[in-house]
Amino acid sequence: MKKKFISICTISALFFAGCTSNNTSQESCKNEGDINPNGSSELSLIMRKMATHLAENRDALKAGKGIVAAPKEIDNLLTAKKTDEEIDKTIYDGYAKLYQQRIIEFNKTASAPDSLKIMAHNNLVSTCRDCHSNFCPGPMVVINQLDIK
Ligand code: HEC
């Protein structure tokens, strides 16, 4: 429990740092650094769970352990309330669907060799990166730590 709390704080802190340094004008950055769940959008809460999920899988896969199940909230990626509802829906929805598809592909590797699990994991990280390169880029610092090299 304690560990989870710390990682959420770290994620938000890093997000905050990334946004304030060069993207203060981006609307999709509005809620950065807000660690109070009541003040955060539904989507930012899902994002934190997604980040934790991939961090857990990175650690599990590096240790040669099995994959960790995805948070069920990923089903709501397309409908979740965002801080900024004005962001490009076509781009957002395209990557959200791709992420959901890649979660299915990742889950299919549960009993596959480690190399395939790692490839599917890294595909998920690439999707985080691709979507974020279009919107608030602050979380990129967090995303770049999720790859398994
Ligand atoms: C479909 C596009 C998309 C994908 C894929 C995506 N993100 Fe996001 N992410 C966003 C948007 C848009 C926001 C802003 C959410 C808001 O404030 O409502 C965001 C916010 C965040 C935040 C900040 C949450 C907070 O504390 O407010 C983090 C961290 C984050 N994303 C990490 C990730 C990680 C890690 C992945 C991959 C597991 C990922 N994102 C995948 C679009 C995406």
Ligand 1, residue 54: give the atom nearest the CA.
38
What is the rounded distance in angstroms from the CA atom of residue 56 to the CA atom of residue 34? 22
**Tokens standing for residue 134:** 């279009």
Q: Each residue of 76-100: pLDDT tens digit?
A: 999 999 999 999 999 999 999 999 9
Q: 138: Cβ–Cβ under 8 A, 6 or more apart, which residues? A: 14, 15, 16, 17, 18, 19, 23, 29, 32
Residue 136's pLDDT band, with cuts at 50, 70 and 90, is confident
**Mutational pocket test of ligand 1: of 132, 140, 147, the residue with most ligand atoms within 8 Å of the beta carbon:** 132
Residue 50 scores a pLDDT above 50: yes
C-beta of 131 in contact with ligand 1 (< 6 A) = yes
Average pLDDT score, the chain: 83
C-beta of 58 in contact with ligand 1 (< 6 A) = no
Rg (C-alpha) for the chain, rounded Å, is: 15
pLDDT at 9: 35
Residue 134 scores a pLDDT above 80: yes
CA 26 to centroid of ligand 1, rounded, Å: 14
Range in 9-18, 52-61, 101-110, 117-126 with the lowest mean pLDDT: 9-18
Q: Each residue of 4-33: pLDDT tens digit?
A: 443 443 444 444 444 433 333 344 444 445
Which amino acid is present at 34? D
pLDDT at 39: 75
What is the rounded distance in angstroms from the CA atom of residue 107 to the CA atom of residue 118? 12
How many CB atoms are located within 10 Å of the residue 73 CB? 16
pLDDT at 122: 98
